[in-house]
Structure formats: C-alpha cells, structure tokens
Amino acid sequence: MTAPADLPRLLPLTPQYRERVWGGQRFESTSGTPIGEAWIAYGESVVSSGPAQGQTLDALGIGGPQGFPLLIKLLDCADWLSVQVHPNDAQAETMVGPGMRGKTEAWHILEAAPGAEILAGVNEGTTPEQLAEAIRSGDVLEVAERHAVSAGDTVFIPAGTLHALGPGLLLYEVQQSSDTTYRVYDWDRPASSGRALHLEESVAVTRAELRGDMRPASQTHGEGTLTSSEYFVLQGLHLGSDGTGRTVTKGEGFQIVTVTTGQVVLTTRDERLTLNTFETALVTASAHDYTVQATGDAASVLISGQPAEL
C-alpha cells in the first residue's frame, strides 16, 4: 500500500452514484432508476489512476485515525427531498453512538429551474413549542421557511436547521462526514424501512432560531470564500479562456478540487492532471501550492477543505 508520505500530490477520484426516489437523469444509471447523488469525495472514494489507483482515501490514511472528515456530493433533484434535520456533534455522540459526527453542511447551486425553491429554517416568530407540535402533527410545512434560489447561490446549513431541497436543482454539497439524517416529512410518499420518519429525534435536535445563511450569487459572484465553518471552507474560482493559470496556495492539509464548468489542468511542480466537468481530484498535503488553468473555454472550480487547510 502506498504510504501517505509517498503519495502523489494529485489524486483523481472516482464518483460513486446513489439511486434516490427524488433523483433526476443528469447522472448515468445502469438500472434506469433515477440517480440523486454522486458521492465525489469521502472516505471510501477510490483513486482512479496513478500509483495509488484502486485505493480509498481512508485506506491511504489521508483523513487521519478518525477517517476522512468530509463528504462531498453532487445532487440532481427532480423532486422534493424529504424535510429533514441533522444532529450536531454532541447530539450524534448521544443519539447515534460514540465517535459519531454531527452533520453541518453547505450547498452551492449549480443549476436552478425557474421558480426553484428550498426550505431552510422556520418562519420568524415560531416558538420551539409550536415547531415541536408542527413536527409531531405532520404540519411542518406550515412553519417551514421557503427561499427562492438561483444558480450561483450558496447556502450554509448548520446542524439543527430544518431544511429540504426542491425540484429543478443541481448542486454541490460539502458536509461533515456523516449520513445521519432525521426525516421530518416526506411529501406523503409511501413509508418504507429506508424512508422512515424520525419525529421525536427531529423534535430533539431542530432549533427554531436557525434559518441557514443565504449568500446570493450577486454577493459572491462565485469567487473567493463562498462559506466557511469550523468544519470546512468552500471557495470558488473562475478561470478565463485566455489560458492564464491561477496559483492556489494552501496550508498543510488536503484540498478537494471539483470542476463545475469546462475543463482544467491542475499542475504541481512535478505532476499534471486534466479534469473535465464534474470530475474531482484531491490535492494532498505535500503540495503546498498548485496551478489551476482552463483549457480552451472558460472554466469554474469549487475547492473544499478544512479551515486550517485553506
């Protein structure tokens, strides 16, 4: 096995697809069922080429003894996702098990159909008692706050925020490495073991004062720091068609680069890797800086990492 100290600086990752009842048709499906999620970087991501080909990030020890800390996805939403909430770290330890992480996340909207909406938080003035009653009675939509969204918007969703994604959205999601979800309401879909509701857990962790942090595209223009938290930082970078590269100087940890439009070349002092739209690579700790350059047309990338590493 390749030791972390001997790793290449650029590790291309293979996406792993998840079928979802609310998924769309943007991602290929061998079974014909809708694909809702492409997991593009997480502990079980497999390196697609190079000396570490076939190995996972956790097996390579990149995330340390506690495992890789982030989970990054692309989501194709053709229908409403369930209305849901996630626990914080302390709640996850108590409610799920020792060593379990909570789930704070952020979304960056890549495409949005006209009229696309999300739910994030509850209406101002809703008391914790009113929220608990709405969750238990199945009337949570009466207190959930709706937001119109457009391509380029970024939404930060701390643990404890009631939320749901609506139809007509393609987005990038970065989150803590946790898949703990408490489902509050599922749009009257047939109940199943895989889509059960978690009403009492939702009452325990949902906070009425949280609404998420909405950063419209008109504010960020998709450049610079789009959102940050104690768990991750998300940055955007636009690259012109003139072939001028942008140098990214990073800290001591890893970064994850995903192309959202166009084609780019990543270059370190002795490695070079081409990425197409929706392809992802991890830049390892040994690369203290690297260059991102569009090939041909203009391109855009999103870069995620932990706060001390960006």
What is the pLDDT confidence band of residue 142, given thresholds at 50, 70 and 90?
very high
Instruction: Tell me whether the CATH fold assigned to 4-220 matches the one assigned to 224-309.
Output: yes
| Average of per-residue pLDDT values in the chain | 93
What is the mean pLDDT of the segment spanning 258-268?
A: 97
Per-residue pLDDT for 309 more than 80? Answer: no
Domain limits, the chain: 4-220, 224-309
Per-residue pLDDT for 273 more than 90? Answer: yes
What is the pLDDT confidence band of residue 310, given thresholds at 50, 70 and 90?
very low
pLDDT of amino acid 8: 92
Alpha helices in 243-284 (DSSP H): none
What is the mean pLDDT of the segment spanning 172-191?
A: 93
Of the candidate ranges 142-146, 226-230, 242-246, 280-284, the one whose mean pLDDT is the lowest: 242-246
CB-based contacts of 219, cutoff 8 Å, min separation 6? none
pLDDT of amino acid 1: 45
pLDDT of amino acid 279: 98
pLDDT of amino acid 31: 67
pLDDT of amino acid 5: 58
Q: Record the pTM.
A: 0.95
pLDDT of amino acid 291: 96
Of the candidate ranges 29-38, 40-49, 299-308, the one whose mean pLDDT is the lowest: 29-38
Per-residue pLDDT for 21 more than 70? Answer: yes
Per-residue pLDDT for 83 more than 50? Answer: yes
DSSP 204: H
Which CATH fold would you assign to the domain 4-220?
Jelly Rolls (2.60.120)
What is the mean pLDDT of the segment spanning 140-154?
A: 98
Rounded to whole angstroms, the Cα distance separating 180 from 87 reads 8
What is the pLDDT confidence band of residue 193, given thresholds at 50, 70 and 90?
low
Rounded to whole angstroms, the Cα distance separating 172 from 180 reads 19
Identify which has the larger pLDDT, 87 or 195: 87
State pLDDT tens for residues 3-13. Answer: 455 789 999 99
Q: Among all residues, which ones are annotated catalytic?
A: 183
Per-residue pLDDT for 30 more than 80? Answer: no
Phi, psi of 218 (to 5 degrees): -65, -20
Identify which has the larger pLDDT, 306 or 88: 88
Per-residue pLDDT for 112 more than 50? Answer: yes
In order of 36, 94, 124, 153, 233, the CA distances from 171 in angstroms are 11, 31, 26, 10, 16
pLDDT of amino acid 29: 62
How large a percentage of the chain has pLDDT more than 70?
A: 96
Residue 120 and residue 147 in contact, taking contact as beta carbons nearer than 8 Å: yes
pLDDT of amino acid 135: 98
Per-residue pLDDT for 250 more than 50? Answer: yes
Per-residue pLDDT for 140 more than 90? Answer: yes
What is the mean pLDDT of the segment spanning 43-66?
A: 94
pLDDT of amino acid 164: 98
pLDDT of amino acid 254: 94
Per-residue pLDDT for 184 more than 60? Answer: yes
Which CATH fold would you assign to the domain 224-309?
Jelly Rolls (2.60.120)
Nearest to 23 by CA among 14, 35, 31: 35
